């Protein structure tokens, strides 16, 4: 039986690196850039890459995770904000997902997951609202 998967492509259209500062795996296996057990990664400025990948641990048994990125600042610089992702693709109940940005950061192109299904690819563009 096929493994359930999720992939998140992020285009970082800001002038700062977006670094992972929190990632939590509740169920499943990290599978970023198609490398098993590879956790979510940071995104350099003006770059697009697969920042997060997850798959069910064995067959059709779901996955659940959360991850947050923030801009990497130099001493004395004010942060642009954070991007937070939550995914829950369970075996039997409805899928849930959320991708939020705060402060100066803005996310374009996010679509919540449909209630059913188990293989998804999402792409987002992160911008600085004040740039």
Q: Which domains does the chain have, with CATH numbers?
A: 5-128 (2.60.270.50)
Cβ atoms of 122 and 112 within 8 Å: the answer is no
Q: In the 8-state DSSP scheme, what is residue 62? A: -
Amino acid 61: pLDDT? 81
For the chain, 131 residues long, the average pLDDT of each consecutive 10-residue run is 87 98 96 96 98 88 96 96 98 95 98 96 97 80
Cβ atoms of 55 and 87 within 8 Å: the answer is no
Q: Which of 39, 95, 45, 44 is nearest to 67 (CA)?
A: 39
Q: What is the C-alpha to C-alpha distance for residues 23 and 6, in angstroms, rounded to an integer?
A: 15
77-84 contact pairs (CB < 8 A, 24+): 79/103, 80/14, 80/16, 80/104, 80/105, 80/128, 81/105, 82/21, 83/10, 83/18, 83/107, 83/124, 83/126
Distances (CA, A) of 107 to 29, 34, 104: 25, 24, 10
Amino acid 57: pLDDT? 86
| Average per-residue pLDDT for the chain | 95
Amino acid 59: pLDDT? 65
Helix (H) or strand (E) holding 1: none
């Amino acid at each position: 039986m096929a493994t359930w998967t999720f992939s998140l492509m992020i285009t970082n259209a800001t002038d700062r690196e977006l670094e992972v500062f929190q990632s939590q795996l509740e169920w499943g296996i990290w599978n970023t850039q198609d490398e098993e057990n590879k956790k979510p990664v940071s995104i350099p400025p003006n770059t697009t890459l697969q920042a997060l990948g997850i798959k069910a641990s064995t067959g059709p048994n779901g996955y659940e995770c959360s991850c947050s990125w923030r801009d990497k600042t130099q001493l004395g610089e004010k942060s642009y904000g954070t991007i937070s992702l939550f995914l829950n693709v369970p075996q039997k109940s409805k899928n849930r997902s959320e991708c939020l940005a705060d402060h100066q950061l803005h996310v374009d192109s996010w679509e919540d997951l449909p209630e059913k299904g188990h293989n998804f690819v999402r792409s987002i563009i992160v911008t600085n609202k004040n740039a």
